[in-house]
Structure 1
Amino acid sequence: MEEVAMEKSVSKSDATNNRLELPMESLSNFPIPNGQNHFEFVAMDMVDRPWEFKVSIRNEGKYKKPWMSGQWGSYAREKRLKQGDRVKLIVQVEGNVVRSYRITAERNLTMGIWIPVEDFAS
């Protein structure tokens, strides 16, 4: 079964930095092992290219807002992401086990019509 693990509108800093701030409610979709502060995974994009990502949380304090790093900066640059684009991580789950991740990025063409960013590359 496919589920949306995370969906987010890209902020200016997400598009230009080497990390993507994730919504807190998405944290449960990334199985960070007990005693660790990160989870590494590979997500395939719309053209079946693998990207290595890492979801991390802070080691100390109550504020555990997650972020994604790894190849995020390269992904954002290659896809020419900009503020207002939408990024989704989709997870394929079999039973209670995550099997694979897919990442998509879309741009709002007009009036709520979202187009994959790959369609803008030329």
Structure 2
Amino acid sequence: MEVVAMEKSLSKCDATYNRMEFPKKSLKNFPNIPAGQNYFNFVAVDTLGKRWGFKVSIRNVGRYRKPWMSGQWRRYAREKGLKKGDRVKLIMHVEGNAVRSYRIRAERNLTMGIWIPVEEFAQ
């Protein structure tokens, strides 16, 4: 079974900083954060088959507990040429034994709601 685990239109900060904030409601599509920690690591494969290591963290102080993704995020954003307004999707695949795997896809709005992979812009 496949589901969109997280989808986000990038802000200027997301596209240029070392992390991308994402909706808190998306956390339900990831493993539970281990007790005593405020993060977990996972790997996602892009549309070209390249593996990327990401880290999802949650602030553990204050009321604003919005998660963010770091790890290789900045490198991924730079390599894909991401900019404000691009969209990133994490697609989760759950196998019969409940093992989760992730794919990451970055898209750019071509025109009037038609989104295409950013890799097609590089050609």
Counterpart of 1:51 in structure 2: which amino acid? W
* 3-state SS of 2:90 partner: strand
Q: How far does residue 95 in structure 1 lie from its aligned partner after superposition? A: 4.4
Q: How far does residue 65 in structure 1 lie from its aligned partner after superposition? A: 0.5
Q: Once the two structures are aligned, what percentage of the paired residues are identical?
A: 74
Instruction: Sort the Cα spacing of 1:77 and 1:6 in 2 relative to 1 into closer, same or farther, 3 A.
Output: same
Stretches of structure 2 lacking an aligned partner (at least 5 in a row): none
Q: How far does residue 34 in structure 1 lie from its aligned partner after superposition? A: 2.4
Aligned partners of 1:95, 1:62: CA distance in 2, in Å? 37
Q: Which residue of 1 aligns with 2:88?
A: 87
Aligned partners of 1:37, 1:44: CA distance in 2, in Å? 24
Q: Which residue of 2 aligns with 1:54?
A: 55
TM-score (norm 1): 0.94
Instruction: Sort the Cα spacing of 1:96 and 1:6 in 2 relative to 1 into closer, same or farther, 3 A.
Output: farther
Q: Which residue of 2 aligns with 1:21?
A: 21
Q: How far does residue 96 in structure 1 lie from its aligned partner after superposition? A: 7.0
Q: How far does residue 10 in structure 1 lie from its aligned partner after superposition? A: 0.5
Alignment of 1:1-122 (within 5 A): 1-31=1-31, 32-95=33-96, 97-122=98-123
User: Any conservation in 2 of the 1:30–1:55 contact (CA below 8 Å)?
Assistant: no
CA RMSD of aligned residues (A): 1.2
TM-score (norm 2): 0.93
User: Any conservation in 2 of the 1:91–1:98 contact (CA below 8 Å)?
Assistant: no
* 3-state SS of 2:49 partner: coil
Bigger mean CA offset, 70-79 vs 20-29: 20-29
Aligned partners of 2:64, 2:96: CA distance in 1, in Å? 31
Q: How far does residue 60 in structure 1 lie from its aligned partner after superposition? A: 2.1
Stretches of structure 1 lacking an aligned partner (at least 5 in a row): none
